[in-house]
Amino acid sequence: MFLSAAILIILISQAFGFQNTGPVIKGKVSDEKGTPLPGAGVTVINTFLGTYSGTDGSYNIKVPDDGVYNLKFSFTGYETVIKEINLKGTGVLDVTLVPKLLMTEEVIVSALRAGYRTPVAYANVGSETIRRQNNGQDLPFLIGLTPSLVETSEAGTGIGYTGFRIRGTDGSRINVTIDGIPLNDAESQQVFWVDLPDLASSVDDIQVQRGVGTSSNGAGAFGASVNIQTKSPDNVPFAEISSTAGSFNTFKNTVKAGTGMLAGRFALQMRYSDIRSDGYIERTGTDNRSACISGLYRTARSLLKTNIILGEEHTGISWWGVPSEMLSVDRRYNPAGEYVDESGNKRNYENESDNYKQNHYQLIYSLNLNRYTNFHTALHYTSGKGYYEEYREDQPFTEYGLSPIIIDTTEITSTDLIRRKWMSNDFYGLIYSLNFRKEKVEAVFGGGMNIYDGRHFGRIIWMRYAGSTEKDYQWYFNRTHKGEFSIYGKINYKFSDKINGFGDLQYRYIYYNMYGPDDDLKDISQLHIFSFINPKSGIFWSLSSNQDAYLSFSVANREPTRSDFKEASGDNKATPRSETLFDTEAGYNLRKNKANLGINLYSMFYKDQLVPTGELSNVGYPVMTNVKRSYRIGLELTAGLKPADKLDWSINMTFSRNRIPGFIEYYLDYITSDQTSQYKSKSLGTVDIAYSPSLVGSSDLSYAFSEKLKMHFISKYVGKQYFDNTMSRNRLIDPYLVNSLQIGYNPEIRRIKNTEIQLFINNLLNAQYVSNAYGGLWYEDGTEKTWSYFFPQAGINFLVRWAVTF
C-alpha cells in the first residue's frame, strides 16, 4: 500500500515539476504609518500561488511567465486590497493596507483555528463551496470531499440521521464548535446533525482539522475537530427565497432576510427552513424545521453578536438498519415498528419515530484592547427535549417494575405496549480568549467552563393489558451532572522568515456524576473525575515562496461516554479508563501557477483505546474495553490542477494502516444439547480497527462553460472496512465508488440581485452500496455465527434547487 503511495507521489511530483524558475513579484506590505505587517496574505488570483509577508513586511513570489497578474493582499483587521501588475522580469509592488473602520467577525474563531503557519493538517471549506453544495443534505455530506472523511446516512439520502468519521475516528471523538462554542453532546460526545436542520444555510465557512489539531473548547479532539463559523448579517439589506425538490418526495424551502447595516453599526438577519423527505429506507421520513436569528452591533474596537438557533426534528426511526438476510431481498426494508397483530398479520407501527427540539442561545463579545491585543468571550445556553416512540411486543411486566396481572383467573406476565424514551437537558457555559499578535509573536490564552444537566426517563403511553397501570406510567428516571473546566495557551513564534515554532498546552478537568436506574432498571449511579494535560508542539518551514513543510507532535486524552460507563455499571473491574492518543504529523505543500500538492504523513498511537471486544461485565452486559496498544498510520495526498482556463480538478487520497496488535476476542459458546453456554476467548493477533478503510479518496472535476454555467463531476471511493475487530468476511463493508453530477446556472434577471438554478444527480451510475453497518457474533457448539445490520444508500436520485436574492 505505502509502496503504491510512494510511486504516486513520485509521479505527481514529476508532473508538477519542483523547479520553479521564472519572473518574480516582490514588495512590502505595511500600514498607513509605514509599519510592516508581518504575516499578511499575498495570493495571485486564478492560480495556486501565494505566500505570507515576512517580519519586515516583505514578500516574494515566483511566477511562470511575464504578463498581467492580479494580487490579493489581506491581513486581519485591515481592508483587503487587489492590485494589478504588468510583469516583465522582476516587478516590485508595495502595498499599504488600511485598517477597517469597524471590527469584523474574524476574531470570533481566530483563537481555535489553525493558521497558515500552524503545523497541523487541516482543510477549509469556504462559503462558495457550502452554498454550492447546500441542497438540503446534512452538514456531513457538505464536507464530504475533505481528506480522510467518510460520511454516512441512516435513511440513505443524506437527510435525517447522518454522521461521519475522519481517519476512521467516529463522531464521539471529533470536537465540534460553532463560533468557538462547544456543540458536542456532553454525555455521548456526539453531534446529532438532525437536531440542526439546514444549519448550512447559516454557515459562512468551516475548518476541519485532522489529528489532534489545536486546543479547542468542549469535548476532547481525539482524532479530528470541526470549527464552524456562522454567517454574520450582511452590510446591505436583502431577501432570499430558495427551494429544493427531488427524489423520495424531498422538499426544502428556505427564507432569509437581513436589514443590512443600520447607522453603520447594527444589523439583523434571520432564516427559516422547512425540510421534508420520505427517505430511501422505508418509514424513515423527516419533517424538520429550523430558524436562525443573528444580531450584530460593532464599533471600531468592539463587536457584539447574538445567535439564536432553533431546531425541531421528527424522523422515522432508522437506526436499526437492514438485517443481513433482507439485504438481497429488499434493500429498503426497515424492521423498526414491525409487529404481528392478533390475527397473525405483519404490521408496522406508523408512529415509530424520533422527536426532538434543540435550541441554542449565544451571546458573543469581542474587544480590541489595543493594536496588538483583543479579548473575546461568549456565553451560551442550549436546551434540548424530546423522545423516541416505539411499539414493543411481549414485554414482561417485571422489566418495567410491574407485577403480572390476573384476567379471569389467568395470569398475564407480558404485554404489547407503546413506550416513549425521553431525554431532557440543559447545557450552558462561558468561553474566553485573549489574543496577542505583534511582529514575531502570535499568542492565545483561553479556556472555558461548561455545565451539563441531563435527565433520562421512560413512559408507557399504551398497554394491551394495562390492569391498574395509569397512562404515562414512568418506569425509570436517571440524571447526569457533568462539569468541565479547561484552560489553554498557544504561541506561534517566528524565529526567522523561514522558521516558525508552535507550542500549545491545554488542561481539562471533568466532573461526571450519574445517578438513578436506567431503562433496564439497573442502578447506574457512579461518580468519575478526570484531569488531563494535553501538550502540542511543532515547527513550520517556509522553504521558498511556494513551498513549505511542517512537523508536529501532540497528546490528547479523552474520557469515556455515558454508554461506556452505563454498560459497565455494577462491575468495578469493567469500568472503562480514559484513552490517550500520541499524534505525529509531518507535511509538505507545493504551490505552482496551475497546480498545488499537499502531502501529510501521520502516526496516531493510542494507549487504552476503547473498542468493542465482545467482553461482558460480571452482570452480563457487553462493554467497551480498553486495549493496551493500537495505532493508525497513514499518508494523505491533496492536489489541485488547472489544466485549462475553464477546467479545475481537486483530488485527495488517504492510504492508511489501522491496527490493534494482540487482539483478544471474547464470546459466548452456546451448547445446544443442554441449553448451556460457556464464556470463552481467543487471540486473533493483529487486526484492523473497525470502521477504518485503508483507502479513501475523492475527486471534484469542474468545468466552466461560462461565468454563469458550471459543472462538477464528483467521485468518492471508500475501501473495504470491517464493522467489528475480528476481520471476519461475514462482518465486512464492501468497498464502493460513487459518482455524482452537479450543474449550476446563474442567469442575470433584471431587478434581481442574484439567481441560482442547480441540478444534483447523486449516485449517477446507480451504485448499490452500503456505507455503514453494525453487528457481532456468537458461537453454537463451537461454530461461529454472525448477526448484522446494514445501512444501504440510495441509488441514482436527483435534486433541483433554485434561489432568488433581492
Q: What is the DSSP string of 731-785?
A: GEEPPEEEEEEEEEE----TT-SEEEEEEEEESTT----EEEEEEEEEEETTEEE
Give residue 506's pLDDT: 97
Q: Is the pLDDT of residue 265 over 80?
A: yes
Q: Is the pLDDT of residue 618 over 70?
A: no
Give residue 803's pLDDT: 94
Q: State whether residue 486 is helix, strand or coil.
A: strand
Rounded (10°) CA dihedral 9, 10, 15, 17: 110
Give residue 47's pLDDT: 86
Q: Is the pLDDT of residue 10 over 80?
A: no
Q: Find the helix or strand (DSSP H, E) in which 326 lies.
A: helix 324-327
Task: Let me know if residue 7 belongs to a domain.
Answer: no
For range 675-696, the mean pLDDT? 93
- The Cα–Cα gap between 539 and 471 comes to 64
- The Cα–Cα gap between 726 and 51 comes to 48
Give residue 471's pLDDT: 92
CATH of the domain at 322: 2.40.170.20
Q: State whether residue 200 is helix, strand or coil.
A: helix
Cell numbers that stand for 476 in this block: 425509570
Last residue of a domain, one of 100, 119, 149: 100
- 517-569 pLDDT, tens digit each: 999 999 999 999 999 999 999 999 999 888 999 999 999 999 999 999 988 88
Highest mean pLDDT among 611-615, 633-637, 662-666: 633-637
Q: Is the pLDDT of residue 2 over 90?
A: no
- Comparison of pLDDT for 756 and 14, the residue scoring more: 756
CA angle 699, 701, 706 (to 5 degrees): 160
Give residue 79's pLDDT: 87
Last residue of a domain, one of 72, 100, 128: 100
Residue 9 pLDDT class (50, 70, 90 cuts): low
Give residue 19's pLDDT: 47
The pair phi, psi for residue 201, each rounded to 5°, is -70, -10
Closest CA to 277 of 107, 369, 183, 157: 157
What is the Cα 238 distance to its own chain's centre? Answer: 30
- 464-493 pLDDT, tens digit each: 999 999 999 999 999 999 999 999 999 999
Residue 54 pLDDT class (50, 70, 90 cuts): confident
- The Cα–Cα gap between 630 and 656 comes to 13
Task: Let me know if residue 116 belongs to a domain.
Answer: no
Report pTM: 0.92
> Are 370 and 516 members of one domain?
yes
Give residue 103's pLDDT: 72
Q: Are 279 and 285 in contact (CB under 8 A)?
A: yes
Task: Let me know if residue 736 belongs to a domain.
Answer: yes
- 291-303 pLDDT, tens digit each: 999 999 999 899 9
Rounded (10°) CA dihedral 32, 38, 40, 44: 110
- The Cα–Cα gap between 401 and 423 comes to 20
Give residue 14's pLDDT: 52
Closest CA to 503 of 559, 441, 438, 424: 441
CA angle 141, 128, 67 (to 5 degrees): 135
Give residue 51's pLDDT: 86
Highest mean pLDDT among 43-47, 56-60, 363-367, 617-621: 363-367
CATH of the domain at 34: 2.60.40.1120
Adjacent-strand bridge partners of 479: 455, 515
Give residue 619's pLDDT: 59
Give residue 621's pLDDT: 60
- Comparison of pLDDT for 89 and 245, the residue scoring more: 245
Share of the chain above pLDDT 90, in %: 74
Q: Find the helix or strand (DSSP H, E) in which 208 lies.
A: strand 203-211
Q: Are 756 and 746 in contact (CB under 8 A)?
A: yes
For range 192-205, the mean pLDDT? 94
Task: Let me know if residue 212 belongs to a domain.
Answer: no
Last residue of a domain, one of 70, 100, 130: 100
Q: Find the helix or strand (DSSP H, E) in which 295 lies.
A: strand 286-298
Whose cell is 488547472? That residue is 642
Q: State whether residue 343 is helix, strand or coil.
A: coil
Adjacent-strand bridge partners of 645: none
- Owning domain of residue 40: 21-100
- HSE of 146 in the Cβ direction (CA atoms, 13 Å)? 27
Count other C-beta atoms under 10 Å from residue 327's C-beta.
18
Strand bridging mode 526-544 / 162-166:
unpaired
- The Cα–Cα gap between 88 and 105 comes to 39
Q: Rg for the chain (alpha carbons), in Å? A: 28
Cell numbers that stand for 477 in this block: 428516571
For range 772-796, the mean pLDDT? 92
Q: Which residues contact 744 (CB under 8 A, 6 or more apart)?
A: 132, 709, 710, 711, 712, 756, 757, 758
Residue ranges of alpha helices (H) inside 58-144 are 106-110, 127-133, 139-142
Closest CA to 582 of 559, 610, 554, 608: 554
Q: Find the helix or strand (DSSP H, E) in which 149 lies.
A: strand 149-153
- 688-734 pLDDT, tens digit each: 999 999 999 999 999 999 989 999 999 999 999 999 999 999 999 99
Q: Is the pLDDT of residue 5 over 70?
A: no
Task: Let me know if residue 447 belongs to a domain.
Answer: yes
Task: Let me know if residue 201 belongs to a domain.
Answer: no
- 444 burial (CB, 10 Å; 0-12 / 13-18 / 19+) is buried
Q: Is the pLDDT of residue 18 over 50?
A: no
| DSSP 8-state symbol, 233 | P
The full 3-state SS of 647-675, as one line of letters, equals EEEEEEEEEEEEEEEEEEEEEEEEECCCC
Give residue 102's pLDDT: 72
Residue 673 pLDDT class (50, 70, 90 cuts): confident
Give residue 34's pLDDT: 87
Task: Let me know if residue 229 belongs to a domain.
Answer: no
- The Cα–Cα gap between 779 and 614 comes to 12
**How high does pLDDT run on average in the chain?**
92
Give residue 13's pLDDT: 53
Q: Are 686 and 631 in contact (CB under 8 A)?
A: no
Give residue 16's pLDDT: 54
Number of structural domains (the chain) is: 2
